[in-house]
Structure 1
Amino acid sequence: MSTYEIALDSKAREVEWNNAKCDKYDYMISVFCGLSAGIIDAFFVGTPGKGRLGQWTDKTADNMVQKIANMLWTGDKRSSVDGRPKNAPDTLEKAISYLEQSFPVNYDARYGKDLINGNAISGMSPLNHHLLSLAHSPDIIGLLFSIIDQFTGKATFINNGKLIRLVPVKDARNNKVMYMQGTNFESKVFCGVCNWLGHLISDLCGSSSTRKVGKTGRGAGLPIPFYNLFLLMDLGKFDSNSFADIAVKIFEEGYDLRHGAAMAIPVLIEELSIKVIWALKQHCYAKKEWKDCIPSAKHADLRMMLLIGNATLCLVDGIDAAIRTGIKGGNPITFILHLNLVAWARLVMLVFRELKIRYGSIVDQAVGKYLAQIGLNDAYSLKQYYERMNAIDQKLDSVLRDFTFKVEDDYKVFIQSLNYTLNSSLRTPEQGRDVSVAIAKKEGVKSDRIFRSQEELRYWLGEKK
């Protein structure tokens, strides 16, 4: 077969995939898989920590935390004097305690009193502080704010639909940024990322005080990725509570990352079963080669089967939540506790993906009309507008890079000057005094707070002569 024939055959297959239609068997398979996954969700997931799958994910998370703690303890080169336990952590409580002291962070406030002006977030407690603190989110948002908080010595929270940044009490008392390690900007960022990951693991199954031997609680875990964005949404009142308040109360009931893993299992079962059956049907019934039966988003019929299967799962999940809420005479919190958030989020993603694939040109036209209305198309075409935005992005990247290099250079100069001041072998006392005064002035210290001689220092200490 010539190169032209191969390309033509490949193009024909692509057209066939894009225009493939579901038959009645495809619809039956999708509904059956979605219905089966919905039954699994209803009877084996349930509310946080109650269903069989939830209990299994809780136990798996506990075992994972213990294994990671033991692995890190084995490679810990510190002595027992420096904080390394003499014996490997053999209980969950000891494992969490070891991780907590190995990966401390400045933003781990549990109450408002742990923060300067903490009355602005008085509703924070050990049950919800992982949700209100953005740096505790196990996603890109959490990573970003963790690095920012560790560099600045502040803590970022969501309160009443707004971001607020507060200073931890112990940082203000010590007048320094806590826990930062590394010798330059890059190493500090790397250490900050490692510290964020280690602290997340320590919080996955609750704190050491809530997971003591003999206690039966699950502990306050981590939020599901991007769950804290619900705290920024104003969707009205539900049973006299705002949507953000309901999201917080649901989290306090245990709707955390461990429960999210349990909710993901029925979704995985539904999608994998549909893909496996679809691939077998394509090979055995349609007589296609295995290389053409690999499930992907290119196949229009498979996309539709996944959408129908997931919609069936969500339908069963919603009916089950409504029935259980009605039986218990519950409220919106009870209803949402029985919902599978992972399944509903996946359904939304599938719907938007299909709309983008099928009506992408219409979306581009709508964007073009919008740009024309605001006057951009009077001077530029849509393509030129995108090129201009790309140029601006590149310029901003260059400015940020230059700024980063300047900060790093300033930091190196500061460290060199400080070392010169403190190391008596490099200078005379008079030179050290001059450099120290210059550093203080540069850092903005008031003139009356700068000591230029030992006599001034003794006078300030009260040794008056």
Structure 2
Amino acid sequence: MSSYELALDRRAKEIEWENDTCDQYDYRIAAFCGLAAGVIDALFVGAPGQGALGRLTDKGADALVQKIAVMLWKGDKRSSAGGRPRRAPDTLERAISYLEQAFPVNYDARYAADLRDTGGALSSMAAKNHHLLSLAHSPDLIGLIFSILDQFTGGASFLYKGRVIRLIPVKDARGNKTAYMQGTTFSSKLFCGICNWLGHLASDLCGSSSTRREGKTGRGAGLPIPFYNLLLLMNFGNFDGASFAELAVKVFEEGYDLRHGAAMAVPVMVEECSIKLIWALKRRFYAGKDWSECIPSSKHADLRIMLLVGNAALCLVDAADAAIRAAVSGGSPLTFVLHLNLIAWARLITLIFKELRIRYGAGVDGAFAQYLAAAGLNDAYALRQYYERMNRLDATLEQKLTEFVRETEKEYERFINGVNQSLNPACGTPRQRQEASVAFARRHGAAPERIMETPEQLREWLGGADRQKKR
């Protein structure tokens, strides 16, 4: 087939995929996979620290932190006097303690007393919730941006009553009164800041060294689920006397952190993988399609609908389980939210908006922005605009840095070439080297009276120097 015929065939298949519809078996398969995943979520996830999957992810996180600490300890070039422990961190407490001292940050304030001029803000901040209130502790793009910003400026960024506030720490994590920042140039500081952010996140993944000592049974205050802190912008509603943002903080304090998020992701992965596997097998052996047309992709309309139905079924079981458990405990909103699978609901909302954009175009984005404004969530919209401006600024700085490095390399290359042409015997005749030397001196701003343009001038200058030495 010619390239034109191949293009027509490919376009015909894409049109077929876009118009594929689900039959009754597709809906039943998707619903069954979603319901089965919902049962797994209800029985093996539950509330933080209670389900078997939650305990499994907690142990996995503990082991991960220990492995990271041992790996970094082996590559640590500091001496024992410089802060490197004499032996490898062989317990979780020692691993966390090593990471804490190896990756200190200035924004790790645990109480309002650790900050200057709070004006009464963050009065409820404590060790169990400061990872959520501090934007730089978020393990996502938000946390990276604010971590670099805080490390460069010496400030600390927090979410308080639906808005972002910036304060100055009394001391940094090492007890210094000034910000702790490694590196000498902008690029080196940026690299060190990113590494410091990642290392500090590892130290906070399973709580602090004081809360994970041997003999203690607590899980410790971990890191928030990516983008979970955006819920703190929704400072409205009344849930047993607390706003939605305050309820989100209470939920986090009960252990609804990144480790629990990993446990909640398991039923979602089971549901999606099972639907994609069955869809591919059905398409291959029932519809007789080629294997190249059985690769799960968002181009297939029927697969998108099956995933949407499956996630909806999972969320239906999850909501029913949370409602029953909340009713048994007296109708507590806190209990209801603790048993909700945030990962499943976020995935369902993502699939819905993705399908709407595919069917109705990017106009959905404008409608969503108008909805945020009408609902009084202007801070969330403004925060998104702020992130976009930060991304554009980062791209501009990266471009300028690249141009600067390129120009510096060119200038260095010209300098080396000038030196070689002036001094290297392999580069031309003595006359040519002498002319190149004069041109090199003029190009770099040497004073005219110090430039020896002819051999006679050089000999005269050397003779005058000899006479001064004899005197």
Shorter-chain TM-score tier? 0.7 to 0.9
* 2:81 pairs with 1:67: no
Counterpart position of 2:13: 13
Q: What are the ranges of 5 or more consecutive residues in structure 1 without an aligned counterpart? A: 368-389, 407-465
Matches within 5 A, 1:54-133: 54-118=54-118, 119-133=120-134
Partner of 2:450: none
Offset, 1:8: 1.7
Matched to 2:24, the amino acid is K
Aligned pairs (5 A) from 1:21-420: 21-118=21-118, 119-170=120-171, 177-360=178-361, 363=364
After superposition, the C-alpha distances for 1:408-456 in whole angstroms (9 at most, x for unaligned) are: xxxxxxxxxxxxxxxxxxxxxxxxxxxxxxxxxxxxxxxxxxxxxxxxx
Residue of structure 2 in register with 1:421 after alignment: none
1:4 and 2:28 equivalent? no
Please give the secondary structure, in 1, of the residue aligned with 2:116: coil
Q: Is residue 99–residue 202 contact of structure 1 (8 Å, CA) maintained in 2?
A: yes
Q: CA deviation at 1:122?
A: 1.3
CA separation of 1:229/1:365 partners in 2, compared to 1, >3 Å: closer, same or farther?
closer
Counterpart residue identity of residue 65, structure 1: V
Distance 2:320 2:83 in 1: 53
Q: Secondary structure of 1:157's partner?
A: strand
Shift of 1:50: 0.5
Cα distance in 1, alignment partners of residues 48 and 226 from structure 2: 16
CA contact (8 A) 1:152 1:177 kept: no
- Partners of 1:175 and 1:3 in 2: CA distance: 67
Change (3 A) 1:221 1:36: same
CA distance in 2, matches of 1:334, 1:29: 31
State the alpha-carbon separation in 1 of the partners of residues 250 and 367 from structure 2: 40
Q: Is the 8 A contact 1:150 1:177 kept in 2?
A: no
Separation (CA, whole Å) in 2 of partners of 1:92 and 1:172: 20
CA distance in 1, matches of 2:279, 2:261: 27
Q: Equivalent residue of 1:49, what SS?
A: coil
- Per the normalisation by structure 1, the TM-score is 0.78
Which SS does the other structure have where 1:53 is aligned? helix
Shift in Å at residue 63 of structure 1?
A: 0.3
Which letter does structure 1 place at the counterpart of 2:99? Answer: L
AA aligned opposite 1:103: F
Structure 1 residues 394 and 40, CA gap change in structure 2 (3 angstroms): closer
**Native 8 Å contact 2:284 2:291 kept in 1:** yes
Per the TM alignment, residue 398 of structure 1 is displaced from its structure 2 partner at its CA by 5.4
Give the secondary structure class of the aligned counterpart of 1:178.
coil
Deviation of 1:401 after TM superposition, in Å, equals 6.2
CA RMSD of aligned residues (A): 2.6
C-alpha displacement of 1:9: 1.3
Distance 1:164 1:100 in 2: 25
Does the Cα contact within 8 Å between 2:271 and 2:310 map onto a contact in 1?
yes
Q: Distance in 2 between matches of 1:365 and 1:97?
A: 47
The whole-number CA distance in structure 2 between the counterparts of 1:365 and 1:62 is 43
CA offset at residue 343 of structure 1? 0.2
Give the letter aligned to residue 213 of structure 1: E
Greater CA drift, 126-135 or 8-17: 8-17
Q: Which moved more, 1:322-331 or 1:71-80?
A: 322-331
Poorly superposed stretches of 4+, deviation over 4 Å = 171-176, 361-367, 393-406
Which segment is superposed worse, 282-291 or 171-180?
171-180
Residue identity matched to 2:8: L
**Separation in structure 2 between the aligned mates of residue 337 and residue 71 of structure 1, nearest angstrom:** 35
- Please state how far the C-alpha of 1:237 moved relative to its aligned partner: 1.2
Letter in 1 for 2:56: W
Give unmatched runs, 5+ long, in structure 2.
Answer: 369-387, 405-471
Q: Kindly tell me: are residues 220 and 363 of structure 1, through their superposed partners in 2, closer, same or farther at Cα, counting changes over 3 Å?
A: closer
Q: Is the 8 A contact 1:154 1:168 kept in 2?
A: yes
The separation in 1 between residues aligned to 2:273 and 2:24, in whole angstroms, is 20
* Post-superposition offset of 1:224: 0.4
Q: Distance in 1 between matches of 2:105 and 2:396?
A: 31
CA distance in 2, matches of 1:142, 1:186: 19
Q: Judge conservation of contact 1:149–1:155 (CA < 8 Å) in 2.
A: yes
**What code does the residue aligned with 1:321 have?**
A
- The structure with the larger Rg is 2
**Secondary structure, in 3 states, of the residue corresponding to 1:131?**
helix
Deviation for aligned residue 1:117: 2.1
Q: Secondary structure at the residue paired with 2:121?
A: helix
Per the alignment, residue 427 of structure 1 pairs with none
Alignment deviations for residues 50-99 of structure 1 (CA, whole Å, 9 cap, x no partner) = 00000000000000000110000011111110010001011000000000
CA contact (8 A) 2:221 2:253 kept: yes
What TM-score results when the alignment is normalised by the length of structure 2?
A: 0.77
Change (3 A) 1:72 1:25: same
1:3 CA displacement: 2.4
How much has 1:403 moved relative to structure 2? Answer: 10
Equivalenced residue count is: 383
For the 8 Å contact 2:224–2:256, the answer to whether it is kept is yes
- Contact conserved, 2:70 with 2:88, CA < 8 A, in 1? yes
CA distance 1:405–1:245, shift in 2 (3 Å) = farther
Following the alignment from structure 1 to structure 2, what is the Cα–Cα distance between the partners of residues 23 and 200? 47
The offset of 1:296, in angstroms, is: 0.4
Deviation at 1:176, TM superposition (A): 5.6
Contact 1:205 1:218 in 2 (8 A): yes
Q: Aligned partners of 1:220, 1:173: CA distance in 2, in Å? A: 21
Deviation at 1:161, TM superposition (A): 1.4
